[in-house]
Chain A
Amino acid sequence: MNSLRRSFGPILSLVIVVLVGVWVIGMIVGPQLIMVEQSLWNKEIGGDAAMNSTRIDRLYNEVDTLGFDISDAEALAESPKRTEKIATITAEIDAKKSTIKELEAVEIKPEKIYSFKNYTLMGASHFFIFVKTIGAAVAVTIIAFIVCYPIAFTVAKVATPGKAALIMLFLIIPYSINELLRVFAWLMILDNNGVANLLLGFMGFDPISFLGSGAGVFIAMIYAYILFMVFPIYNTVETLDSSQIEAARDMGAPTWQIHRKIVIPHAKPGIAVGCIMTFMLSAGSFAVPNIMTRGIAEPWFTQLIYNKFFESSNWNVGSAYAFTLVIACIVFIFMMMRFFGVGIKDIAK
Chain B
Amino acid sequence: MRGMDIELRDVSIRFGGFTAVHPTNLKIKAGEFFSILGPSGCGKTTILRMVSGFLNPTSGDVLIGGKSMAGIGPDKRPTALIFQSLALFPLMTVRENVAFGLEMRGMAKGPRSDKAQELLDLVALGDQGEKTPDELSGGQRQRVAIARALAVEPAVLLLDEPLSALDLKLRQHMRSELRDIQRKTGVTFIYITHDQGEALTMSDRIAVMKAGVIEQVDTTDLVYNAPSTAFTATFVGANNMFKGKIKEVSSDGAVIDTKYGLLRGTNPKNLSVGSEAILFVRPEKMTVQSGGKKSDNAIDVKYERRDLEGAFVNLHFLQDGDKFSVHQTNVNLKSHEKGESCTIGFDSKAGMILATGELADE
Of A243-251, A292-300, A308-316, the one touching chain B:
A243-251
A251 B91 Cβ-Cβ under 8 A: no
**Contact A250-B91, Cβ < 8 Å, known A241-B85, A243-B83, A261-B100:** no
A243 B87 Cβ-Cβ under 8 A: yes
A244 CB contacts on chain B under 8 angstroms: 87, 89
Give the A-B contact count at a CB cut-off of 8 A. Answer: 58
Return B28 CB to nearest CB of chain A, in Å.
19
8 Å CB interface, B94-142 against A: 100-101, 104-105
B85 A251 Cβ-Cβ under 8 A: no
6 nearest CB pairs, A to B: A251-B101, A243-B87, A247-B87, A243-B83, A253-B104, A252-B75
Q: Does B74 contact A (CB under 8 A)?
A: yes
- Considering the chains assembled together, what is the distance between the CA atoms of A244 and B148 in angstroms? 13
B54 A251 Cβ-Cβ under 8 A: no
A253 B87 Cβ-Cβ under 8 A: no
B81 A265 Cβ-Cβ under 8 A: no
Q: Does A132 contact B (CB under 8 A)?
A: no
- Considering the chains assembled together, what is the distance between the CA atoms of A251 and B74 in angstroms? 8
Q: Does B339 contact A (CB under 8 A)?
A: no
B79 CB contacts on chain A under 8 angstroms: 250
Q: Does A262 contact B (CB under 8 A)?
A: yes
Return B345 CB to nearest CB of chain A, in Å.
51
Within 8 Å by CB of A251, from B53, B73, B84, B104, lies B104
A-B contact pairs, 19 of them (CB 8 A): A243-B84, A243-B85, A246-B54, A246-B83, A248-B89, A248-B104, A249-B74, A249-B75, A250-B52, A250-B74, A250-B80, A251-B80, A251-B149, A251-B151, A252-B75, A252-B76, A252-B152, A262-B89, A266-B91
Q: Hey, what's the 0/1 contact readout for B55-99 against A, CB within 8 Å counting as 1? A: 000000000000000000111100111011101010100000000
Q: Hey, what's the 0/1 contact readout for A224-266 against B, CB within 8 Å counting as 1? A: 0000000000000000010110111111111001000110011
Within 8 Å by CB of B74, from A246, A257, A265, lies A246
B89 A252 Cβ-Cβ under 8 A: no
- Considering the chains assembled together, what is the distance between the CA atoms of A144 and B80 in angstroms? 37
Within 8 Å by CB of A252, from B81, B105, B148, lies B105
Return A267 CB to nearest CB of chain B, in Å.
11
A250 B75 Cβ-Cβ under 8 A: yes
**Contact A253-B74, Cβ < 8 Å, known A247-B81, A266-B91:** no
- Considering the chains assembled together, what is the distance between the CA atoms of A248 and B149 in angstroms? 10
Return A116 CB to nearest CB of chain B, in Å.
45
Q: Hey, what's the 0/1 contact readout for B143-180 against A, CB within 8 Å counting as 1? A: 00000110110000000000000000000000000000
Within 8 Å by CB of A257, from B76, B104, B148, B151, lies B104
Max chain A C-beta neighbours (<10 A), residue from B52, B74, B148: B74
Return A263 CB to nearest CB of chain B, in Å.
11
Closest to A268 in B: B91
B52 CB contacts on chain A under 8 angstroms: 250
B83 A252 Cβ-Cβ under 8 A: no
- Considering the chains assembled together, what is the distance between the CA atoms of A244 and B75 in angstroms? 14
Return B62 CB to nearest CB of chain A, in Å.
15
Known: A247-B89, A249-B75, A251-B104. 15 other contacts (CB 8 A): A241-B85, A244-B87, A244-B89, A246-B81, A247-B87, A248-B100, A249-B74, A250-B52, A250-B75, A250-B80, A252-B105, A252-B152, A254-B75, A262-B89, A266-B91
Closest to B79 in A: A250
A262 CB contacts on chain B under 8 angstroms: 89
- Considering the chains assembled together, what is the distance between the CA atoms of A261 and B101 in angstroms? 12
**Contact A253-B73, Cβ < 8 Å, known A246-B83, A247-B81, A247-B87:** no
Return B332 CB to nearest CB of chain A, in Å.
52
B152 CB contacts on chain A under 8 angstroms: 251-252
Return A238 CB to nearest CB of chain B, in Å.
16
- Considering the chains assembled together, what is the distance between the CA atoms of A247 and B105 in angstroms? 14
Q: Hey, what's the 0/1 contact readout for A108-123 against B, CB within 8 Å counting as 1? A: 0000000000000000
A241 CB contacts on chain B under 8 angstroms: 85, 87
A257 CB contacts on chain B under 8 angstroms: 104
- Considering the chains assembled together, what is the distance between the CA atoms of A247 and B86 in angstroms? 9
**Contact A251-B100, Cβ < 8 Å, known A246-B74, A266-B91:** yes
B85 CB contacts on chain A under 8 angstroms: 241, 243
A253 B100 Cβ-Cβ under 8 A: yes
B76 CB contacts on chain A under 8 angstroms: 252
- Considering the chains assembled together, what is the distance between the CA atoms of A240 and B253 in angstroms? 58
- Considering the chains assembled together, what is the distance between the CA atoms of A241 and B89 in angstroms? 10
Return A186 CB to nearest CB of chain B, in Å.
39
Within 8 Å by CB of A265, from B83, B91, B105, B149, lies B91
- Considering the chains assembled together, what is the distance between the CA atoms of A254 and B74 in angstroms? 11
Return B212 CB to nearest CB of chain A, in Å.
22
B87 A246 Cβ-Cβ under 8 A: yes
Return A90 CB to nearest CB of chain B, in Å.
86
B104 CB contacts on chain A under 8 angstroms: 248, 251-254, 257
Return A264 CB to nearest CB of chain B, in Å.
10
- Considering the chains assembled together, what is the distance between the CA atoms of A244 and B133 in angstroms? 13
B75 CB contacts on chain A under 8 angstroms: 249-254
- Considering the chains assembled together, what is the distance between the CA atoms of A250 and B150 in angstroms? 12
A246 CB contacts on chain B under 8 angstroms: 54, 74, 81, 83, 87
B100 CB contacts on chain A under 8 angstroms: 248, 251, 253, 261
